[in-house]
Amino acid sequence: MKDGFVKLALASPPLRVADCEYNIGEIVRLALAASEGGAVVALFPELCVTGYSCSDLFFHSALLDAAERAVEVFAKKTAELATLYFLGVPVRLFGKLYNCCAAIFRGKLLALIPKTFLPNYNEFYEARQFTPAPHMTAEVSYAGQLCPFGTKILFEHAALRELIVGAEICEDLWCQTPPSTRHCMAGATLICNISASPESVGKPEYRRDLARMHSARHVCAYAYTSSGPDESTTDLIYSGHAFICEYGTTVAECPPFGGAEITFGEIDVKRLDYERRRLSDFVCERNPDYIYIPFETELSETMLTRRFAKRPFVPEDRGDRDKRCSLILDMQAAALAKRLRHTGAKTAVVGVSGGLDSTLALIVASRALDRLGRPRTDAIGVTMPCFGTGSRTKSNAEKLCRLLGVTFREIPIAKSVAQHLMDIGHDGITPDVTFENAQARERTQVLMDIANQTGGLVVGTGDLSEMALGWSTYNGDHMSMYAVNCSVPKTLVRYLIAYFADTCDSPELSGVLLDILDTPISPELIPSKDGEISQRTEEILGEYELHDFFLYYIIRWGYDPAKTLRIAKLAFAGDYDEKHIENTLKLFIRRFFSQQFKRSCTPDGVKLGTVSLSPRGDWRMPSDASAAAWLSML
C-alpha cells in the first residue's frame, strides 16, 4: 500500500444455487487466496451466499437461515485475515427482505448495505422478492453481530487516508443517480460493485464503459465483479465478468466467460486524491449523514502487476495512435491558422534545421496555410548553417522545404557569429556556453528580421520536453511569435512525423521524413568533423523517453520522485540500468526546477494534451522554488 497502490481481488466462485454450505466453502477458499495474494479489498458477487437466481426460494426461512449461518462461518474463517471483504447475501429485517452487501473485516461484520434500485423489467423481477433500501440507517443484529444497516456507510483506512471505500449493488450503477455518486461526494475513492448481471450480446462493452466513465466523472476507482456460469441457466446465462476502472481507464479485467475464479489488480488512490485536489470544481467533503467505519492494514509495499507505459504520451495501439496524431496535427494547424488570420501575417517563418522539431513545425505551417486557402509559398523555411551544421541535416532541410512546396532560404551565419564573438572578446574557438548560445541567438535574430521583412511571424519549434528541461537558449530558440510544438513531448514528435510520412502522397517526401527520424537528436552547435554530428543531446541529458516518462507522472499525476523511480524501474526493466534511471531522474528534477525562469516568459502556444507548461495555463511555478524536498526523496 506504499505510494498509494492498493491491491484488489475480484472473485467469482463456483456456486450451487440455494446450497449455502457449499457456496460459503468456495467463498472462504477464494477469500483465503485473495488475502494470500495481498488484496486489501476483495469483492464477491451479488447474493453469492445463496446464488442470485433463487427467485421465490428467497421467501423461505430455510434458505435465509442457511445464508445467515454461512455468514457466521465466513466471519470465523476470516477472523485473522487483514482484507476487507464484500459479499452478497439476502437479509430479512423488519418484516422485509433486502438484497445486501455484507462488509466483513477480521471476522467482524462491519455493515450491511442494502441495494437501492431493484430491477423489475425484461428478465429481471427482483422487486418481486426484495425491498429497496430504506432512507435511514439503523443498527441491526445479523449473524450473531450488531452492525449498521443502510446505504450511507463508508469504510476508511486508518493509515492510508486516501483509501475510503463505498459499496453499491449491480443495478445501482445503471440508474439515474447511483448511490456511488453520493459516496464519492462524501469522500469515497473506491467504489465496490457486487453484481449478478446476466450476459447478452453487446452488454459487456456497455457495462465496462458505464463503469469506466462513472469512474472518470467521479475521479474514483470502480471495482466490479459478477456471478459466473454456475448460476441457474433456466432463462439466462452469467459470465463472471470482472474489472477495475480508475479515472476513466480499465486497469484490470477478467473478460466474460474468461474462467478466472479470482482477478487481481491495483488502484492508485494517491493519484486520485491528487487529481481531486487539482480540480477546483470537484465536490467532496465529509458528510455528517454518513457513518465512517475505520479499518486498518499494514502499509506494506504492494507487488505491482499493473503496467506503466514507457511512452505515456503515445497510445500503444496503432489505430488509436494514428487517430491521435491526426487530431493533434489538425489542432496545431487550426491554432496557427487562427493566429495568422488574426495578426494579418503574410508569412509564417520557420527556422529549419533538418531535425525533428523544426520538421514538425514546418509541416504544421504548411497545413495551416492549406486551411486558409493560401499558397504554401507563404511559409518560409530558413536554414542557417554555422559551425556545427552537418551535411545530412542541411540537405534534409532543403529537401523538406522543396517537397512541402514552401519558400526556402539559406542564410549562413558563421561570419556574423564569428564577428559577434570577436566583438565581445571571445576567442571564437572555445566551445563554451557563450560559443553555443551566440549561434542560437543569431538564428532567432535572423528569423525575427525576416518576419519583419516579409510581414510575417516566427513559428516556434521547441517542444514540451525541451521546455521541461530548459533545453533552449534564453531569447534564442526559446523565443518565437507562436509556439506550435509547446505541448508536444519529444517522444510524440517522432510519431507525428512518422504518421505524416505514412499518409502523405509523396514517396520522396516520405523518404526524407524517415531519414530525419533516423538522424540523432542534436543542437549542432559544436564544430562537426567531416560533416558528421559531433554533439548528441541524449548523451548529454539522458534519453528523452525517460524524461517524458518522468514529466508525465510527476507533473500530470503528482507522483513524488521515489514513487516515480519505483515505477520507472518496472517500466524500463531490461532497457536501462537502475542507477542510470535514478541519475536521469535527478537530472530531470534539477533542471525542471532551475529552468522555470525560461517557462515563465514563453510565447503563446496551443495546448494539445493533458500536460502543459504554459505559465498562463496549466502550470504556475515560482522561478526561485527549491528542488531540495524532491531530491531528498531519492
Are 56 and 24 within 8 A, CB to CB?
no
DSSP code per residue over 525-558: -SPPBTTB----HHHHH--HHHHHHHHIIIIIT-
Place of cell 562537426: 528
**Pair 601, 617: CB distance under 8 Å:** no
Please enumerate in sequence order all residues whose Cβ is within 8 A of that of 118, keeping only pairs 6 or more positions apart, or say none.
Answer: 99, 126, 127, 130, 131, 132, 171
Tell me how far apart the alpha carbons of residues 205 and 216 are, in angstroms, rounded to a whole number: 16
Type of residue at 280: S
Reading the block at residue 368, the C-alpha cell is: 495551416
Kindly tell me the number of DSSP H helices and DSSP E strands found in the chain.
Answer: 20, 20
What angle in degrees, to the nearest 10, is found between the helix axes of 356-372 and 490-503?
50
Contact indicator for 364, 339 with CB cutoff of 8 Å: no
| β-strand pairing of 249-254 with 407-410 | unpaired
Assess whether 401 carries a catalytic annotation.
no
User: Judging by beta carbons within 10 Å of its beta carbon (0-12, 13-18, 19+), is residue 455 exposed, middle or buried?
Assistant: exposed
Does the active-site annotation cover 115? yes
Neighbour tally for 118: CB within 10 Å: 22
Task: Give Cα 306 to chain centroid, integer Å.
Answer: 12
From CA 312, how far away is CA 60, in angstroms rounded? 55
Which amino acid is present at 265?
G
Catalytic residue among 26, 46, 199, 246: 46
Residue with cell 502543459: 612
- Distance from the first to the final alpha carbon of the chain: 19
Other residues' Cβ atoms within 10 Å of the Cβ of residue 109: 22
* Extended strands (E) in 53-152: 84-93, 96-105, 108-114, 138-142, 145-149
Classify 259 as helix, strand or coil: coil
Q: Distance between CA atoms of 328 and 322, rounded to whole angstroms?
A: 10
Pick the catalytic residue from 20, 101, 147, 170: 170
Amino acid at residue number 628: A
Strands 407-410 and 379-383 turn out to be: parallel
Give one DSSP letter per residue of 550-615, joined into a string: HHIIIIIT---HHHHHHHHHHHTTTTS-HHHHHHHHHHHHHHHHHTHHHHTTPPPB---SS----T
Torsion of CA 560, 565, 568, 570, to 10 degrees: -120
Catalytic residue check, 46: yes
The active-site residue out of 48, 54, 115, 266 is 115
Active site residues: 46, 115, 170
